[in-house]
Amino acid sequence: MKNTSKAAAALGSIKSAKKAASSRENGKLGGRPTTKWTAARIKRALEIIDTRNKFHSTSTEVSQAQKDANFLNTYRKTLEFETQEDFREYVEMSRTREIDFLFNRLNK
């Protein structure tokens, strides 16, 4: 098993034109996604949730957006509010206020 991982590591470190082209394409799409939640990232995830849009692409950015939407959909269901009024206020928030609210909650 250990020999297999060494072989895989050796093959993965080999440079090729195909890998370079793939890296360039990913860079054009914004590269590797950040771990920090941004307002734009939250907005994109909420749009996916609202439209129930399922992406069928091999693009890293698109699959990350879908993962964000799945996470945010679950996260929104587990939000805890101290009073019924707080919950009602959250449900009636404008999209901009909801993005700000989630941004503050996720980046604590």
Among residues 64, 60, 68, which one has the least CA distance to residue 106? Answer: 68
**Residue 44 near residue 99, CB atoms below 8 Å:** no
- Higher-pLDDT residue of 38 and 26 is 38
* The predicted structure's pLDDT at residue 56: 52
Q: Model pTM greater than 0.75?
A: no
Alpha-carbon distance of 78 to 52, in angstroms, equals 19
**Residue 47 near residue 73, CB atoms below 8 Å:** no
23 — pLDDT class (breaks 50, 70, 90): confident
